[in-house]
Structure 1
Amino acid sequence: MTSETTATAATTALPLTAGRWAFDPFHSAVGFTIRHLGISKVRGRFDKLDASLVVGETLADSSITATVELASVNTGNADRDAHVRASDLLDVASRPTMSFRSTRLAGAGEDWTMEGELTIGEVTRPVTFAVEFGGVVDVPHDGSKHAGFEATGEIRRSEYGLTFAPGLLGEVVKIHLDVQFIAPK
C-alpha cells in the first residue's frame, strides 16, 4: 500500500451513521484457539465482553475499544477453566481484564484492517485484526439498525508474560470476534 493509498484510506467516510454505536452483547462473542501438545487445538471463549464503537466523519475520526473479563473464560471444561484462571496461566487475580484500543482503521467494502493496542495485565502490545464488515440491517421488530463485524488476529502469549508450559501449550493464540453494534438514535 503506498502512502497515498494509506492517506486516502485514513480519510475515507465509513458506511455507518456517525456517532456512538451501542454494543449488542447478546449477538457478540470473543473466542480463541490455542494448540495443545502441538497436535490439536483447544477452543474457548470469554463470556463477558464490552465494546464501544465511535463512528466519526472519516476513519481517522473513528475508534473501537473493548474489554474482556478474563475470569469469564469458558472452554467447555470446568477443571481446565479453573486452571486457566489460576496464577500459572492467566492469573485473573492480578490480570482481571484484557483490553483493546484501536489506533488505525483502514479498508473499504467488506474487508478492513484494525490496528491497535492489546493490554493484558500490565503489558500492552500492538496487534492487527483483519475485519470483515458484515453490513447494516434494519431490525423489523424495533426499528433499530445493527451493524455486524467479524475480526481475526493472533498474539504470541509469551509477549504478555503468559509463559506457562511451552511445548504443552502453543505460543500463538488466535483470536476471533463476532460483534454487533446498534446505531445511535
Structure 2
Amino acid sequence: MRALRLAWPLAVLSAAAVAAPVSYTVDPTHTSVYFAASHFDRTTVRGRFGKIDGRIVYDPATGAGGIDFTVETASVDSGNRSLDGVLRSPQFLDAANSPVARLRADRFVVENGKLVAVEGELSLLGTTRPLRLEVDRFSCGEISLFGIRRKVCGGDFHATVVRSAFGMTRFLPEVGDNVTLQISVEASPADSTAP
C-alpha cells in the first residue's frame, strides 16, 4: 500500500525539552484532510481522504525541520459513491496512475514565537506546485489518555489549491477551480504508541 508521508514542522517545541532532532509520526486516527469546491457557484461539494501517513522531523537547536505528508488518492470519500468514482477517474485524481498526493515542506514561518504558516510544495498528478499552509492553531505538550502519558503536537491548517494548475480542468467553471483544504494533524514521537 502506497501511503502519503508528511514531515511536519514543530517550530514551537521547547529547545530545553528536546536535545536533538526528533522524528514524529502522524497519528492517522486523529489526522484528517478535507476538501471543498463550489458547485455551480450555488453549493459546495465536500469530501475527505481516508488514508493518510506522515512524518515530522524537528531540530530545536537550529529551528530546522520538515514535513513529508502523503495521502492515497483512491481513499477519496465524498459520501456519494458515484461522485467518488468520478473523482478517482482520469478526469480528476486519476488514482490508478497517480495513487499518491504528497506534501513536502521545509520552511516554517514563525512570528512572535508562534507558528503562522508552513511553506512547501504539493505534488499531484505528476505536477509539483508551491503550497502555503496557513496555521489556524498549533501547540505541543503532554496528554494523558487511558492512563498513558505522551507528548503530542498538533494543529489545524488550511490552504487553497488551484486544481487547473495540476491539469484538473474537467467541469470548469461549473465546478470551482479553487479547492479549499482543511488539514488537522496530531503527531507523537516516532517511538511512542498512540492509543
Question: TM-score by structure 1 length?
Answer: 0.86
Deviation of the 1:165 alpha carbon: 0.8
Deviation of the 1:147 alpha carbon: 1.3
Match for 2:12 among 14, 21, 30?
14
Find the counterpart in structure 1 of residue 181 from structure 2.
175
Structure 1 stretches of 4+ with a deviation exceeding 3 A read 108-111
Find the counterpart in structure 2 of residue 67 from structure 1.
70
1:7-49 deviations in Å (ceiling 9; x for gaps): xxxxxx6325440012111111011111111111111100001
Amino acid at match of 1:169: V
Separation in 2, partners of 1:58, 1:127 = 26
Separation in 2, partners of 1:116, 1:60 = 16
Q: 1:58-97 alignment to 2 at 5 Å?
A: 58=61, 60-97=63-100
Please state if 1:160 is matched with 2:166.
yes
3-state SS of paired residue (1:107): strand
Separation in 2, partners of 1:157, 1:71 = 17
Gapped regions of structure 2 (runs ≥ 5): 1-10
Separation in 1, partners of 2:79, 2:143 = 34
* Greater helix fraction, Structure 1 or Structure 2: 1
Contact 1:151–1:177 (CA under 8 A) maintained in structure 2: yes
Find the counterpart in structure 1 of residue 152 from structure 2.
146
Q: What is the number of equivalent residue pairs in this alignment?
A: 174
Aligned identity (percent) is: 29
Find the counterpart in structure 1 of residue 40 from structure 2.
37
Gapped regions of structure 1 (runs ≥ 5): 1-12
Find the counterpart in structure 2 of residue 6 from structure 1.
none
Please state if 1:25 is matched with 2:33.
no
Please state if 1:116 is matched with 2:120.
yes
